[in-house]
Structures are given as C-alpha cells and as structure tokens.
Amino acid sequence: MGAVCTAEAKHWALIVAGSNSWYNYRHQADVCHAYQILHKNGIPDENIVVMMYDDIAHNKFNPTPGVIINKPGGKNVYLGVLRDYTKEEVTPKNFLNILKGDKEAMKGIGSGKVIDSGPNDHVFVYFTDHGAPKLIAFPDSVLHSQDLLEAINYMHKNKKFARMVFYLEACESGSMFVKLEKDINVFATTAANPHESSYACYYSKKYQTYLGDVYSVKWMENSDKVDLSEESLLKQFEIVKRETKTSHVEKYGDMAFDHEDIDDYQGDGQGKSSGITPEEYRSEPITDAVPAPNVHLNILQNRLKDAKSDEEKLRIAKEIEDLIELKEGIRSTVEEIVKHCTSSDEQMVRVLKKRADPEDLVCYKKAVTAFSETCYNVGKNEHALRYVYVLSNLCEEKIPAQKIAAVIKQQCEILI
C-alpha cells in the first residue's frame, strides 16, 4: 500500500497543454485524457485545474465536432473536461501562479482556480508540449527551468504539499529537472533525456494529425487498465520506460517515496480504479512514432498523399514549400547570428554543432527573449524552438548577453 493520508489530506492536480493549432492536436488530446483518468479516480473537479488553448474540439479541420480522441477508435476524451484557463490565459505566468496557489494573482482570469494545497496534500502535475534545453513552450511564450524550480522550491518552503509528482512530455524534457532538489518530496518523470526529442504517435487519416505522444499515452493507457492501488510510482515509471522505445524516459528528484501507490497521486488515495495487476499489464505496440520536430512536415506529406483533387494537392504542396522555406529562413538567420557573435570559424562550428547544456541561465534567458521578440516567437514557432540550443552555446562561450541581443536585433532586421 502507498502512503497513509491523514483525514485532512487532499489531492490536487494541474494539467496543461502548452500548444495550439491542429497539427499540435495531440497535446490537448493528452490533457483531456489525463483529466478523464483523474476525474474517474476520485479527484474532485474543484481540485483539478486544466489549462488548454481549446481550439481543437470545434476546429474547422475536426471531422467530429465536439469530439477529441487520444488514439484511433478511442473514446471522446473531451466529454465533460474542465476548461479553467483557455486561449490567451495559457501562459507561464498564470501556470506558476496557479501552481503556487496565488488566488489574488488569478482573480478575474479564467475560473480563478488555483492549487490551494496545504502541508498534508498530494499534488500531481502533468504538462505536455514542445520543449528545448531547459525550457518548455506555451502558446505565445516559454517557461524556463529556473522559474519552474523556483516555484517548486517556494511551494516546498511554504508547505504547499506533502508530496508532489510531476510528469513532463516535451523534447529535451529531462533538462527541466536536472537541478531538481532530491530532498524536497518531489518526484518527476520525463518523456526524454536532456538531449533528445520526444515522439508523437497514432497518426489518423480521418483526423489528418497525430492523436497522441508516446510517453503520454504509455502512462495513461497504463493508468486506464491497472488497479491504481496496486501499482507504485516506480512500477509505472519502469513500465513506461520499457514501453517507450523511441526516447529515454527519465526520473528525477526525490526517490524516497517512489514505492507509493499511483492512486495517492492520480486518485483520491482510495484505490477507486480497478483493473489488471501491474504484472499482468501489457500495452499495444506503437508502430508509427515520429520525432516531435518532424510532426508538422509529416502531417502535410500524409495529407498530400491522400489528397483527392489537383487543387487540394497544389494547396498542400504550397504549404510544404512554405514550411521548408520557413525552416530554411530560421536556419540561415541563426547562422548569421552566430557568425557575427563568434570570433573564429572554429568557434562558430562549435556553437552550431555542440549540444547545449545551459549553465549561464541569465544570459540564456535574455538571448531567448531577444530572439523570440525580434526574430521568431519560439512559443508560437516550434521550428524556431529547435535552434535555441545555439543561443545557449553562445552564452557558454562567454559572449555577453548584451552583444548576443544586439546581433540578434541587427540580423533579424536585415533578414526577416
């Protein structure tokens, strides 16, 4: 059995999709599915906060208006889902204020609900979207790892939880938690290590998009089927790690309570979910996984292959051409920025080729902000997000943030 909760203990959950648009369908599908699991297993709606842009269920591309599914032939996971914060309310600032339980900051915004947790409570957080070294994306901006960790440390210091569990789906998601303290009662798992992509899956010809993400559907399909009072956090991690063949699922933080049952975090601690045992559990293999950065182009290529008319083929071919042109424009812009920031060909190659391990986080944040505000918004543009590693590498070369920002402004005014 897991931890024995006191009579005053409550269970709280914050679940977030950080993207919008049809080709990112899977993130909101993941979040809607997560809500159904938590709701079914007894966490009251007043203790669940859902953030998602909410432009999928009634999107013009949706062949089943009002329906969102997380796998081909799956149930409608949109049915009854909470929509506490939608559209422009889905921001890093709001996310952090909700997480920290700042009711005053959230007055007049969305539902106003926050994670109003106390020292005996369990908090479950699930986030799904795009990511890059030490940051995750929201529809119009990004959240840096140091800001997330500061919020978590604030919650620990102010006794806002007894335990916290954080599941994170994003490229390079492990980088968000490499500095997570190991003794503050926070256990985190991520879809990928600090240097690799996460993967989308379940492409649907009917919906012409990917319906899920590998790590996410692996933990949720497991939670759907097993008895949550009989499976530990560690056991679910091991199952998801084993069955996610595409990236390296990682765990971070405090391992002192990883033996506790999942229903202490994804339910109300009473084991209301019933199903097969963890030892009996087997999932269906995923055969169509693709790296998240390739999703947009793959969707367009699939649509082109299935197009019925010449007019439709020409329109999709133009979308592909525009996407390739955008990606090439981002690449060439970044190369010009690096060329004008570095002092030698050797340094330039190092900055462009080396994988990022951000340490100078102040410089990195300033550089990302300058690039996002002047060149390409990395919250809105997942393809631009793929190049922020270069900005980190410039900072690690001890190039001043002020110089990087000035070069970014100069080059983007020239090239865009």
For the chain, the straight-line distance linking the first and the last C-alpha, in angstroms and rounded, comes to 59
Quote the DSSP letter at residue 144: E
Residue (of 31, 69, 71, 74) closest to 287 by Cα position: 71
Quote the DSSP letter at residue 276: B
Active site residue 171: yes
pTM of the full structure: 0.95
d(CA 348, CA 292): 27
Instruction: Label residues 337-349 b or e (16+ Cβ within 10 Å = b).
Output: bbeebbeeeebbe
Q: Which class for 379: exposed (0-12), middle (13-18), buried (19 or more C-beta within 10 A)?
A: buried
Q: Tokens at residue 226, please?
A: 């097993």
Residue 233 CA to chain centroid, in angstroms? 20
Q: Which amino acid is at 393?
A: N
Active-site annotation holder among 5, 32, 171, 341: 171
Strand-pairing partners, residue 153, are none
Q: Are 146 and 361 in contact (CB under 8 A)?
A: yes
Q: Tokens at residue 366, please?
A: 């300033």
Q: Is 187 helix (H, G, I), strand (E, B) or coil?
A: strand
Q: What is the pLDDT of residue 162?
A: 97
Query: Greatest CA span in the chain, whole angstroms?
Result: 66
Q: Is 291 helix (H, G, I), strand (E, B) or coil?
A: strand
Non-local (6+) Cβ contacts of 134 within 8 A are 144, 145, 146, 172, 175, 176, 358, 361, 364, 392
Residue (of 133, 136, 134, 112) closest to 125 by Cα position: 136
Q: Is 131 helix (H, G, I), strand (E, B) or coil?
A: strand
Angstrom CA distances, 176 to 11, 197, 209, 251, 325, stand at 24, 14, 27, 11, 31
For 225, other C-beta atoms within 10 Å of its C-beta total 16
d(CA 272, CA 95): 29
Non-local (6+) Cβ contacts of 398 within 8 A are none
User: Phi/psi at 235 (nearest 5 deg)?
Assistant: -65, -40
Q: Is 10 helix (H, G, I), strand (E, B) or coil?
A: coil
Q: What is the pLDDT of residue 193?
A: 98
Q: Tokens at residue 230, please?
A: 């009989």
Active-site annotation holder among 27, 33, 122, 130: 130
Q: pLDDT over 90 for what percent of the chain? A: 92
Strand-pairing partners, residue 53, are none
Active site residue 340: no
Q: Tokens at residue 407, please?
A: 């070069």
Q: Are 265 and 124 in contact (CB under 8 A)?
A: yes
Residue (of 133, 126, 233) closest to 169 by Cα position: 126
Angstrom CA distances, 227 to 91, 112, 233, stand at 35, 33, 12
For the chain, which residues score pLDDT lower than 50? 1-6, 416
User: Phi/psi at 79 (nearest 5 deg)?
Assistant: -60, 115
List the strands of the sheet with 135-137, edge to edge.
131-132, 135-137, 142-144
Q: What is the pLDDT of residue 9?
A: 84
d(CA 287, CA 306): 20
Q: What is the pLDDT of residue 271?
A: 58
User: Phi/psi at 34 (nearest 5 deg)?
Assistant: -60, -40
